[in-house]
Structure 1
Amino acid sequence: MTVHIKVYSDYVCPFCFIGKAAFEEAIKGKDVDVEWMPFELRPSPSPQLDPVNDPSKQYMWQTSIQPMADKLGVEINFPNVSPHPYTGLAFEGFHFAKEFDKGHEYNTRVFQAFFQEGQNIGDIDILTKLAEEVGLDGASFKSALESRTYQDVQR
C-alpha cells in the first residue's frame, strides 16, 4: 500500500535542506509517493534575513545547523547570498517543473544551488539555468516566470 506524504519546505531553510536528505534516505526503496509543497517562510514584504550581517544567525549556523549537517553527512555551506532572496519566484518555477514531471529534480537542484554553490535563487536567469540543467526548456521556463504564469498557483 502506497504511503502518501506531503513535504512542506522553503529553499532558504537549512533545516529543510538537511531534512530532505535524511527523509529521502529513509524512504528509499519504499512504496512512498511524495508531494513537495512550496512554503515560503518569509514572503514579501516580510523583512529578508541577512545572516552575513547577523551574529545570532552565524552562531546558530555554527552551533546547530553545521553540526547537524555533519552528523547526517550533508554537504552544506553558510549561504553568502545576503539578504536571503524571497523564494516565491523559485517556487513558481517549481510549479512549472512539476507540470513536466521534473518537480523533484528541480527542488533538489535549487536547494543545491543555494546551500552548496551560493547562487542567488531569487534571480530569474539563475533559476532558468537551473531549470535547463534538470532538462526543462529554458525559454519556456523563463517566459513563465517573467509573465508570472504560476503566481496564483503559488499563492
Structure 2
Amino acid sequence: MVDWSPLDAAISLASDLEVEAFALSTKPPKYMQNEDRSPDEVWGVGLTIRDISTGKTLTYAPGLAAIDETMQRRLNASDCIAIDGTFWTDDELPALSVGARSALQMGHLPLSGERGSLRQLEGLTGSRKILVHINNTNPILIPNSPERQAVESQEVEIGCDGLMFDL
C-alpha cells in the first residue's frame, strides 16, 4: 500500500527522522518535451531530511533550475546541502559539440557566472555545501583545474561515490 503525500508536507520516516519533498523544476526530460502537459507540472523534486534527535537538516537538490527566495531560505535553514553541480557553464554541452541545449534549457543552474549557483551560495554560512549530480563534461572533475580551485576556494565540496556524512 502506498500513502501519497503532497509536496512540501513533512512525513515521518521513523521516530526521529522526517522528510519533505519539494518542487525543483518544471523542465521535462527531452523525451517528454513534445507531450501534452501542464506548464507547471513538476518534473524534478528535492528533499529536506530532518533528524529530529539532533535537530540537523540536510537539503538535497540534484536538479536545481533556480535559487529563488524560497529555495534560499530552505538552504539557509540547512546544516548540509547537496546541490546540483551538473554544469560549469550554461553553454557547456554546445561548446563541446556534444549537445544543443543549454544547462538552463535542461533545468540545471550552472555553477559559474554572475547568476550561477556558486555566486548565489557565497552568503550561505554554517552549512556544509556539496555538489552532486555532476556531468562528466564539467571541468570541476579535473584535479587542479581552475574551475575546481574556484569551487574549493569557496569551501564547496565536490561530491563523489561513497561520500558519507553525519547530521
TM over 0.5: no
TM-score of the superposed pair, with normalisation by structure 1: 0.27
Which structure: greater helix fraction? Answer: 1
Task: Answer with 1 or 2: which has the greater Rg.
Answer: 2
TM-score of the superposed pair, with normalisation by structure 2: 0.26
Say which structure, 1 or 2, has more relative contact order (CA 8 Å, 6+ apart): 1
